[in-house]
A and B are shown apart, each in its own frame.
Chain A
Amino acid sequence: MHEMSLIAGLFEILEEKAREHKARSVTAVRLRVGTLSGAVPELLETAFDMYKKGTLAEKAALVTIAVPVKVRCRACGSEFEVDDYVFHCQFCGAADLEILSGTDLLVESIELETEDETPA
């Protein structure tokens, strides 16, 4: 279970973005979780709920979006979703595939709560 470490990385990004946008809190987080990211969405959500207490994202919910493994064949150019972790081209059989998505954990978007701008 390394989800807690991953969530710590997520909070570094949340704090950075909140500072950048002068926000007081984060109210929602959308996270794209690749099938081959090595993390489990439910465990990420649990870790997020444990970690957020007393932070700027205390009221936020983590929404995870499952991202399948998509590849492009360098031999024939076909793009397809990998099935059963077989990294051979489904069309030409070549073994030289470029992974396009599905291996990482990307913060897609966040919702921030900012102060009303006070007229100067």
Chain B
Amino acid sequence: MKRKDVEVYEDILKSNVAAAAEVRRRFREQGVLVVNLLSSPGAGKTTLLERLIDRLPPPARLAVIEGDIETERDAERIRAKGVPAWQIQTGGACHLEAKMIGRLLGELPSDLDFLFIENVGNLVCPAAFDLGESLRVVLLSVPEGDDKPKKYPKAFLTAQALVLSKADLVGLLPFDPERARGEALEINPSLAVFRVSALTGEGLDDLVAYLHLARAGLAAEDGRHA
């Protein structure tokens, strides 16, 4: 018996990275903006999606993938709005992985403009897994507190946009939007920050404009590579 040391220097997420690259390539080719929504449970991801659906009416073509540990509830809420939705039940896993999205590729319509993926409610684990999205949006709701970015830095570091949700509660709860924004920007200076209320509609138009811009950017990027 012999023992030998072998240098490896490989990322243990490499199979997820490869699966994510495949998902990204496929949707970019088709001009679909894939948005991965991350937040704690109850920050308002599904409600935000319902409001975004209202503001992205046909001819915009939308689909939604819902990630939850159990139940089909969120997908049903989206279908009730007339948008096709796929529910991934992770059966205990605290996050989605790119392979789970990859398995749905054959079922999803190819003529989409936006594909929203609502990750499992959790600010920790989903941050480590690239799903092949072009845009990662993290939500932080007012009741959670303005001190969360530094507690869960990876979610804020890896996102391109931050939605401060339930903004209608600012003033009713001890939440300083400027502190939340400032802390998030220390971690990620290029983060686009939106103050949004799904109840009053505050900030939704800006967020929708940002999504359209991001989708247009996708096409521009393809042009450069072509």
Given A85-B186, A114-B4, answer yes or no on A12-B95 (Cβ-Cβ < 8 Å). Answer: no
- Interface residue B225 (Cβ < 8 Å from any Cβ of A): no
- Extra contacts, 16 of them, besides A13-B10, A38-B127, A104-B11 (Cβ < 8 A), are A2-B94, A5-B97, A6-B13, A7-B12, A10-B12, A37-B154, A85-B150, A95-B189, A103-B157, A105-B13, A107-B9, A107-B12, A108-B7, A111-B4, A112-B4, A115-B1
Q: Is A106 an interface residue (CB 8 A)?
A: yes
Closest to B149 in A: A85
Contacts A9-B15, A85-B150, A85-B153: A110 and B8 contacting too (C-beta < 8 A)? yes
Contact present for B125 and A13 (CB under 8 Å): no
Is the Cβ of A9 less than 8 Å from the Cβ of B16?
A: yes
Check A9–B1 contact: CB distance below 8 A. Answer: no
Q: Which residues of B contact A (CB under 8 A)?
A: 1-16, 93-95, 97, 124-125, 127-129, 150, 153-154, 157, 186-190
**Minimum C-beta distance from A27 to chain B (A):** 6
Q: Are A116 and B8 in contact (CB under 8 A)?
A: no
Interface residues of A (CB under 8 A from B): 1-2, 5-7, 9-10, 12-13, 17, 21, 27, 31, 36-39, 84-88, 95-96, 103-117
Is the CB–CB distance between A36 and B154 below 8 Å?
Answer: yes
> Across the interface, which residues of A come within 8 angstroms of B12, CB to CB?
6-7, 9-10, 13, 31, 105-107
CA distance A36 to B3 in the complex (A): 33
In the bound complex, CA of A76 to CA of B14 (Å): 32
Contacts of B6 in A (CB 8 A): 17, 21, 109-112
How far does the alpha carbon of A30 sit from the alpha carbon of B24 in the complex, in Å?
Answer: 31
A51 to B15, CA, bound (A): 18
Q: Cβ of B124 and Cβ of A38 under 8 Å apart?
A: yes
Please, could you name 5 A-B residue pairs with CB atoms under 8 Å apart, sorted by A? A85-B187, A86-B187, A109-B5, A112-B4, A113-B3
Q: Which residues of B contact A105 (CB under 8 A)?
A: 11-13
Measured CB to CB, the closest approach of chain B to A22, in angstroms, equals 11
Shortest distance in angstroms between B208's beta carbon and chain A's nearest beta carbon? 26
The 4 closest A-B pairs by CB, nearest first: A95-B189, A2-B125, A38-B128, A107-B8
